[in-house]
């Protein structure tokens, strides 16, 4: 427990100052996290089958490109260069023809890399753009995920009896989910209507925050199902007692992806 607390303090000590500084420093930091997140996905997949070295190198290059795309933008304008996406698809699929060995590289490998690069790259890119637009929005999203996760854990430990999804995450309970969503929604909504936009409809913010809180829990379960499929406890041991980057950012990744749906009206 002591090591877990110390790791959490260290993570906060690194992340918070960079979040406050923002700009290029924060963007570079998030792109490094994107690289590590992609590494964890590739590494966990390679427990069953290894990828060709050059394909992994290309994947890391592409995740940096996507995570830093329009990293100076201060507007919630999401654009994608389809020429780069098309090039990436060709680059990942074409080697199947030239390698001539489906045991070394096949369609499943190519699609896994394409999906992983887009998923991780765009998620961390959205976090960068969100920070550029207004740091308060990032704090709002962090409050949703952190408070929801924390109180879901405490509520589950205290009164949890009914399993939420035992095949994926045996310790999660329905009571924990309800408790986490309730407190997470209350705290994050209070922050939003107090700091970000006091004139907005309270009911609307409550509904959106509930949805985002539930999406965050869904993200946690999705990443848990990935680990369960590959029979792994954590994505990596990068952070003592906490696992890897994806173990810490699982909920936030899903929340920021869902948040862009509401960004034009929040």
Sequence ranges of the domains in the chain: 1-133, 135-266
Helix, strand, coil fractions of the chain, as percent rounded to 5? 75, 5, 25
Global model pTM greater than 0.85: yes
Tens of each residue's pLDDT in the chain, 266 residues: 667 778 778 888 899 999 999 999 999 999 999 999 999 999 999 998 899 999 999 999 999 999 998 887 777 666 677 888 999 999 999 999 888 788 899 999 999 999 999 999 999 999 999 999 899 999 999 999 999 999 998 998 889 788 998 888 888 999 999 999 999 999 999 999 999 999 999 999 999 999 999 999 999 999 999 999 999 988 988 887 778 999 999 999 999 999 988 887 77
**Cα–Cα distances in Å, from 178 out to 156, 162, 164, 169, 173?**
9, 11, 10, 16, 9
Spatial separation of the C-alpha atoms in residues 114 and 62, rounded to whole Å:
9
């Amino acid at each position: 427990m002591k090591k877990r607390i110390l790791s959490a303090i260290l993570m906060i000590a690194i992340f918070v100052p960079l979040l406050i500084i923002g700009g290029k420093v924060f963007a570079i930091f998030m792109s490094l996290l994107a690289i590590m997140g992609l590494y964890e996905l590739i590494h966990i997949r390679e427990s069953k089958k290894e990828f060709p070295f050059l394909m992994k190198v290309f994947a890391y290059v592409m995740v940096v490109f996507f995570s830093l795309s329009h990293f100076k933008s201060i507007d919630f304008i999401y654009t994608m260069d389809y020429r780069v996406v098309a090039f990436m698809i060709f680059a990942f699929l074409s080697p199947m023809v030239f390698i001539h060995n489906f045991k070394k590289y096949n369609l499943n490998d190519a699609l896994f890399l394409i999906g992983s690069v887009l998923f991780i790259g765009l998620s961390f890119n959205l976090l960068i753009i969100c920070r550029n637009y207004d740091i308060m929005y990032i704090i709002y999203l962090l409050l949703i995920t952190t408070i929801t996760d924390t109180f879901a854990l405490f509520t589950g430990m205290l009164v949890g009896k009914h399993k939420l999804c035992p095949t994926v995450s045996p310790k999660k309970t329905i009571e924990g989910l309800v408790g986490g969503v309730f407190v997470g929604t209350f705290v994050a909504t209070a922050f939003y209507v107090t700091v970000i936009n006091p004139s907005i409809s309270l009911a609307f913010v409550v509904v959106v925050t509930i949805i985002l809180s539930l999406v965050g829990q869904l993200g946690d379960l999705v990443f848990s199902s990935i680990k369960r499929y590959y029979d792994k406890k954590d994505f990596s041991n990068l952070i003592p007692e906490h696992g890897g980057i994806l173990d810490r950012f699982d909920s936030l990744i899903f929340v920021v992806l869902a948040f862009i749906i509401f960004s034009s009206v929040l």
